[in-house]
């Protein structure tokens, strides 16, 4: 009960006093959120919203602006601009009272609940939420590390998106655009196949003799397989070539050559999506990563399994069964985390039956999209989220109506996290 009293006392104190330091028992709780993407920005907003502005929230984000990975394949295909997928953090600051700090975290001490920034600032937290997304493991592919300018990944939206778009625009007609997809799990399972589709759409209009070569380390298309194959056969016959089980062993950056087990392929544009792991900031909490890559969390609260008072959400987590690493899922997990953190700060157990859902749109051309959806309920016996059987599913067919729905999704989720 002590914590709860402190917390409720803090509510009163903050309301009355504008919060002069009245001693530890009366301070308002402080949550630090690291990472201003779909997970972190949403969590920061909902922590403020659901605490009625009583919990102090600091958001640490290294970039000045948010650039959305979802819809960024449209920029590569020349159908949208960077400005359309770029948003600022002013809404979180001005509408919701989040302290937004553009900085990086250099140290975290879970024992003292203190965190240090590159600027030298030290912050104390009652609860810490990390939503760092992914980092890449280019060292797994010989010759790739240090060459992301010649061989872009464009798997974090930003300058890499622009770079890949320019490389495509500069490619000669008759050129080869090769995409490599790493073994699952990776961020956004349908994303690489959407990219292949939109690059093909661009080529059909601007470079009709070009070829899009999809080199997939996996045995098959990882999401929306039938719908992608239908679109490729229908719209891009002879333009897209799909090769499963094509593990990339190495690259030569100068000649843009992909080295596979049985042959070498020289491309005009070589887009290698490297293997991925949890964003490296998670190393600062000393959690034991699963397969040296992902953070194991208690899905009821999103608290890290072996580090108290620290929560992790989004792509960095070891996903629950059939839960994709997607922006929507990070947005949904952020709300589970925000509610759980507020309950725990009040010394109450987290909601025992949280629900999350996923809605994921992919374009097959500039004017046509399709979806996959699922709903996940916390299962007490398995102590994890499980998909609800009989719910969710795929589009019957890709359509212009769903391209409109995809735009509605993007604008609403960006507003839900940032405005």
> One symbol per residue from 322 to 341: x for binding another protein (CB under 8 A), - otherwise; what is it?
------x--xx--xx--x--
- Which contacts (CB < 8 Å, 24+ apart) does range 6-15 have? 7/345, 7/346, 7/347, 8/346, 10/54, 11/52, 11/54, 14/54, 15/54
Range in contact with another protein (rule: CB under 8 A) among 189-197, 215-223, 312-320, 371-379: 371-379
Q: What is the dihedral of CA 185, 186, 189, 195, to 10 degrees?
A: -150
Residue 301, both tokens: 């609260």
- Smallest gap from Cβ 91 to another protein, in A, equals 11
404 near another protein, judged by CB under 8 A: yes
Residues 6+ apart with CB under 8 A from 246: 180, 215, 216, 217, 260, 261
x/- letters, 278..307, toward another protein (CB under 8 A): ------------------------------
Does residue 359 touch another protein according to CB under 8 A? yes
- Map the footprint of another protein across residues 11-70, applying CB under 8 A: 11, 15, 45-46, 49-55
DSSP class of residue 83? Answer: G
CB 176 within 8 A of CB 182: no
Question: What's the min distance (Å) between Cβ of 270 and another protein?
Answer: 34
**Three-state DSSP state, 171:** coil
Q: Does 93 bind another protein (CB under 8 A)?
A: no
The Cα 143–Cα 123 span in angstroms is 39
Angstrom distance (rounded) from CA 20 to CA 155: 45
Among 58, 72, 167, 395, binds another protein (CB under 8 A): 395
Is there a contact between 358 and 374 (Cβ–Cβ < 8 Å)?
Answer: yes
Using the minimum distance from each CB to another protein, give the nearer residue, 72 or 374: 374
Q: Give Rg (Cα) of the chain.
A: 22
Nearer to another protein, 11 or 215 (CB): 11
* Residue of 137, 145, 373, 386 interacting with another protein (CB under 8 A): 373
Note the residues at the interface with another protein (CB under 8 A).
7-8, 11, 15, 45-46, 49-55, 328, 331-332, 335-336, 339, 342-343, 345-346, 348, 351-357, 359, 371, 373-377, 388, 390-393, 395, 399, 401-402, 404-405, 407-409, 411-413, 415-416, 419
């Amino acid at each position: 009960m002590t914590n709860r009293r402190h917390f409720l006392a803090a509510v009163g104190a903050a309301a009355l006093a504008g919060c002069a330091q009245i001693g530890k028992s009366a301070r308002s709780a402080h949550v630090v959120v690291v990472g201003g993407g779909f997970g972190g920005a949403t969590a920061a907003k909902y922590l403020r919203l659901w605490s009625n502005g009583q919990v102090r929230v600091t958001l640490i984000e290294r970039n000045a602006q948010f650039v959305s990975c979802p819809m960024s394949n449209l920029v590569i295909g020349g159908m949208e601009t960077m400005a359309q997928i770029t948003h600022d953090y002013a809404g979180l600051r001005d509408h919701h009272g989040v302290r937004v700090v553009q900085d990086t975290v250099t140290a975290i001490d879970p024992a003292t609940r203190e965190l240090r920034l590159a600027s030298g600032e030290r912050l104390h937290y009652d609860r810490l939420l990390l939503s760092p997304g992914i980092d890449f493991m280019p060292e797994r592919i010989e010759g790739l590390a240090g060459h992301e300018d010649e061989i872009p990944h464009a798997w974090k939206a930003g300058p890499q998106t622009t770079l890949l778009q320019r490389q495509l625009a500069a490619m000669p007609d008759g050129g080869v655009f090769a995409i490599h997809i790493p073994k699952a799990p990776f961020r956004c399972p349908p994303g690489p196949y959407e990219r292949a589709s939109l690059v093909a759409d661009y080529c059909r209009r601007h470079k009709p003799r070009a070829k899009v070569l999809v080199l997939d380390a996996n045995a098959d298309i990882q999401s929306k397989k039938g719908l992608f194959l239908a679109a490729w056969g229908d719209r891009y016959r002879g333009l897209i070539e799909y090769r499963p089980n094509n593990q990339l062993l190495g690259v030569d950056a100068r000649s843009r050559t992909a080295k596979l087990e049985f042959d070498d392929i020289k491309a005009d544009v070589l887009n290698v999506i490297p293997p991925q792991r949890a964003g490296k900031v998670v190393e600062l909490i000393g959690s034991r990563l699963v397969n040296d890559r992902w953070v194991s969390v208690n899905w009821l609260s999103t608290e890290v399994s072996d580090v108290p008072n620290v929560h992790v959400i989004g792509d960095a987590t070891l996903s629950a069964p059939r839960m994709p690493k997607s922006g929507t899922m990070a947005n949904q997990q952020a709300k589970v985390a925000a509610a759980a953190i507020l309950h725990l700060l009040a010394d109450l157990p987290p909601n025992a039956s949280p629900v999350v859902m996923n809605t994921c749109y992919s374009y097959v051309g500039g004017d046509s999209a399709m979806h996959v959806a699922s709903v996940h309920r916390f299962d007490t016996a398995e102590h994890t989220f499980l998909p609800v059987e009989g719910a969710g599913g795929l589009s019957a067919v890709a359509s212009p109506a769903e391209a409109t729905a995809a735009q509605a999704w993007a604008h609403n989720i960006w507003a839900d996290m940032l405005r």
